[in-house]
A and B are shown apart, each in its own frame.
Chain A
Amino acid sequence: SQTIHQWPATLVQPVGSPLSLECTVEGTSNPNLYWYRQAAGRGLQLLFYSVGIGQISSEVPQNLSASRPQDRQFILSSKKLLLSDSGFYLCAWKSRSTSSYEQYFGPGTRLTVT
């Protein structure tokens, strides 16, 4: 069966510090991968998605970036965090081998920028 991991689970970082969040998927090959952010009291917003190694699409212009160095690894980064970057970051995957469209989410990383 497929599993998705995210780490760290929680993170407290000062404004201006760098960020690296990691997501890995097991049990599937060549998935679509997604980064979403859930801000307090708000819904989920897609930040980035990837259909393959090195292929990243950005949905929202901001000081965050994403990379996909390996087939099942997706990394969210920032060079300098802002207070507004606080939130709950969720990684998701979707199988490309089926015609179904559902996405499966990881446990999330709660980021607090102070």
Chain B
Amino acid sequence: GNSVTQMEGPVTLSEEAFLTINCTYTATGYPSLFWYVQYPGEGLQLLLKATKADDKGSNKGFEATYRKETTSFHLEKGSVQVSDSAVYFCALIWQAGTALIFGKGTTLSVSS
């Protein structure tokens, strides 16, 4: 079945460090891929998306590239800020009417 695997956290970084959060997926066909972010006590916010192979999603300095050959969608940011501290979820969907399938989430903690 379809699944998403994320690197386990927590990830602890100093401000301005480079961030990578790994995400790989197993899916039938060509799913759409997403990164969502959840700040403490809040719902999920869509961070970025990619809908086909080699697409690069980007938002707020974060980027992720849809790699079909490695079935990956790793999240990167060149210089993290304290305000980026949150839980990040990788997710996929391959059919409009069905559920997003989420990874278990990766907690990022950035210190100044």
Contacts and interface: CB of A to CB of B under 8 A. Distances in A.
A94 B96 contact: yes
A15 interface: no
B104 A32 contact: no
Main secondary structure of the interface of A (DSSP, over half): strand
A29 to B, nearest CB: 17
A6 to B, nearest CB: 8
Interface residues of A, number: 25
Interface in A71-114: 90, 92, 94, 99-108, 110
A56 interface: no
A107 B97 CA distance: 22
Given A43-B103, A44-B89, A101-B32, A108 B96 contact: no
B51 A100 contact: yes
